[in-house]
Amino acid sequence: MKRDPLKQYVSLRDSLLKRKAALETELAQINAALGEAAPVKAAAKAAPARSRKRAQNSVSLKSAVCEVLKAKPLSRPDILKAVGKAGYQFTAKDPLNSLNTLLYSNKKVFKNLGDGTFALA
């Protein structure tokens, strides 16, 4: 009679967990005997988090671009300059990428006029 694979898995997992707990206890005892602190877990050794913080803008990029495009259609670099002059701060390495994502993914809001300019839809 074959053993059920699920039962085999559960049994093996339980025995491994018991062995792991026993080894951790033994390791803690060895560290205590040697006068060493508990080992640092791998997660604590991970790379430091990004240091770049998100800018605290009073309006969203979408709102800022809509405000700029109310006057007339503009090219992407011109939109970027106008949004910057309006006080919007980017923290991205390449702000034009963020602007491109906004313009090309919101077709109900922004219309590509085909000549390199965008307007409100």
Segment 17-35 mean pLDDT:
89
Token pair recorded at residue 29: 């005892």
- For residue 103, give every residue at least 6 positions away whose Cβ sits within 8 Å of its Cβ, in sequence order, or none: 65, 76, 79, 110, 112, 118
**C-alpha span between 71 and 30 (Å, rounded):** 73
**Residue found under tokens 């803008």:** 57
Indicate the pTM of the whole model. 0.55
pLDDT tens for 45-104 read 555 555 667 778 888 999 999 999 999 999 999 999 999 998 899 888 899 999 999 999
Q: Which helix (H) or strand (E) holds 13?
A: helix 5-34
Task: Supply the mean pLDDT for the chain.
Answer: 85
Domain ranges of the chain: 5-44, 61-120
